[in-house]
Amino acid sequence: MSVACIVVAAGRGERLGEQRPKAFVEVGGRPLVWHALRAASDATRVSHVVVVAPDGFAGDPALAGVAAVVPGGATRQHSVANGLAALPDDTEIVLVHDAARCLAPPALFDAVAGAVLSGHDAVVPGVPVVDTLKAVDGAGRVTATPDRTELRAIQTPQGFRRAVLERAHLAAVERGDTDAPDDGALVERLGLPVHVVAGDADAFKVTRPLDLLLAAAVLSRRSAAV
């Protein structure tokens, strides 16, 4: 089956405190999106990559060689929908990846795609939650302490059968639903099962300046291991 990857790189990333859109901020001398694209391209199961980029960045050198670059939308959900519309007709499996998780390794892309190929309609990678979590009401009172052994912090890339992901996005539009935290949640809202596979510690999300330092440290560790 043909596997394509949509790399979402259209977010502004205001919490990072940079002038450029987050995906085009550099770490290790390269933009975050460059690292994400390299991982997607190095995955053995991925045959086609589409990038969703901010206005004015379609010609950025970091995107050189990408099969298709499409504009982002007002929300992440809209951006993913734009990427879906740009996929080749023969694409059967879709991976959706956030450029902000720029150091997710190629093996994670292959593991997620492999789980979809094995028969799951929707697959998300997740890592165990290490902190104690509290549910809190509007007044700041704790209402529950979930059992963290049953919780996972979800990452990308996430994988789907194309027909399922397109159906989930269409249903969201019909509901006027724009607040889904990820594409896996859209499939959940269809009432369909979402399978979780093991995530990777390197697939953390670059959100704050401290995360850039962590990403630089990971790149340094990788270089030393070569």
pLDDT digits (tens, 9 = 90+) for 11-39: 888 889 888 999 999 999 999 999 999 99
Which tops the pLDDT comparison, 11 or 217?
A: 217
CATH number at residue 187: 3.90.550.10
Q: The domain containing residue 152 runs over which residues?
A: 2-225
Between CA 174 and CA 126 the distance in angstroms is 29
* pLDDT tens digits for range 90-100: 999 999 999 99
* pLDDT tens digits for range 101-117: 999 999 999 999 999 99
Asked if 74 contacts 173 with a C-beta cutoff of 8 angstroms, the reply is no
Has residue 167 got a pLDDT over 90? yes
Task: Provide φ and ψ at 79, rounded to 5°.
Answer: -65, -45
Domain count, the chain: 1
Nearest to 185 by CA among 156, 148, 144: 156
pTM given for the model: 0.96
Has residue 122 got a pLDDT over 90? yes
